[in-house]
Amino acid sequence: MKAKIYLEGGGDSKELHSRCREGFRKLLESTGYRGRMPQLVACGSRDSTYHDFLTAHANSNADYIAMLVDSEDPVRDPEKTWDHLQERDGWERPDGGDDGQVLFMTTCMETWIASDPDTLRRHYGGCFRESALLPLKNIERRERREIQESLKDATRGCSNAYQKGQRSFEVLGALNPAALEDRLAAFRRMKRIMDERL
């Protein structure tokens, strides 16, 4: 089984691409995919991820090719990922493509991070202000800016305050998959699809 997942994240820097792959690799290994890990490709921007995915879909001989991107906005039907992308971004489903090739972080990667306050408390220690986080109920219905700001507020007094990039991937790799699976429909969906296809 040869599988590739194209990841949104890592900006334009090779170092950040490496940290992006590392953060997702650690999270997926702790989710149970050690020994059957897909190849992870950090693509930088969301648009770059889509175009890299299209190229691979058309040309790669991998058994499973997917992209893992922010949904950016709440998703009406989590199973109809291409409908969401077509409506929001004008992205077309490639010939032969299916919804299982699109894995969402709804609405952004920070939703996953903010959904695991126990790990955040261990990571940041006494400077972490959990009360600044948004309630977990229906967190995937929140605007991504709200979630990102709440994470910044919760870590504002820390020397390693949350920010996208290196620090975000560090925290990502330390998250508890059981907590994410319990709280996030998009994470459960990703796990279900990867269990079927890897």
Q: What is the mean pLDDT of the chain?
A: 96
Q: pTM for the complete prediction? A: 0.96
Q: Read off the pLDDT band of 22 (50, 70, 90).
A: very high
In the numeric block, which tokens belong to residue 59?
Answer: 């040309």
Q: What percent of the chain is modeled with pLDDT above 90?
A: 95
Taking 90 as the threshold, does the pLDDT of residue 165 lie above it? no
Q: Is 160 helix (H, G, I), strand (E, B) or coil?
A: coil
pLDDT tens, residue by residue, 43-89: 999 999 999 999 999 998 999 999 999 999 999 999 999 999 999 99
d(CA 102, CA 99): 6
Which residues is 3 bridged to in the sheet?
64
Using only C-alpha atoms, what is the Rg of the chain? 16
Domain boundaries, given as residue ranges, for the chain: 3-107+168-197, 110-162
Element (H, E) at 70: strand 64-70
Q: State residue 65 phi and psi, 5-degree precision.
A: -125, 130
How is residue 194 written in tokens?
A: 């990867």
